[in-house]
Structure 1
Amino acid sequence: MRSLFAVLGGVAGVHAATYNGFPNALTCSLDDTTTATRTAAEVQRMVTGPAGTLIDPSASNVASGKCTSLRIPYYNVSDGAFGLVAFAYDEASDTYYYCLGQGAITSDSGGYPSLCTES
């Protein structure tokens, strides 16, 4: 009986991550004619871990998208078949902040990755 209480107590203490500023959907260009859309839940799964590559220890140094004032680590992640999602992660509060989404370089993106459309 004691181990059952320990298991239940452990489950009750589980903390769910918080996701701040994530769009309901993110649509990114894959090329000049094709786009892909991911739901908020799909994008959140992409970043959770935190996943991806640490770009800078302070998102404010990168001045990227919606994260220009955040002094927490800044990451990029891509699932290969979609675009790139940039986010900041506050480990102390287990909070993920959406910064921006980028798609492929297209003929009208000026040689830079295109910005994804948020909805």
Structure 2
Amino acid sequence: MILLAFKIIDLKVPLTYIGSFAVFVIFYMLGTGKGFDVNYLFSHIFGGGLMLGAWFMATDYVTTPITPKGQLVYGCCLGIVTAVFRLFGGSAEGVSYAIIFCNLLVPLIEKVTKPVAFGKGGKK
């Protein structure tokens, strides 16, 4: 709450990270025939380092994209990669690996989501 109050971090990355992770886990539960189980979902969201990674590690100034669209893409990528590592990988924790992997993609995300300068190549 202090980070938000002093405007040190923005809500885009943590909320898209946690939200895309939750959506992936829900689709995984429904796809495997387990049915929706809120305890399973909450154990994945609140267990491990997901909250720590979403609020402190993923919002690092150096590695987070600058553009607003890039931050949304980055958060979704983090959520999906974390879910894949946790659900299908052999490691117990996928948050650190997902953050490292998605940090490698930040220059590409910035290049793709770069806004058009005012007066340059806009729609007519």
State the TM-score, normalized to the length of structure 2: 0.26
**Which is higher, the Rg of structure 1 or of structure 2?**
1
Higher helix share: 2
Higher strand share: 1
State the TM-score, normalized to the length of structure 1: 0.26
Greater RCO (CA < 8 Å, at least 6 residues apart) = 2
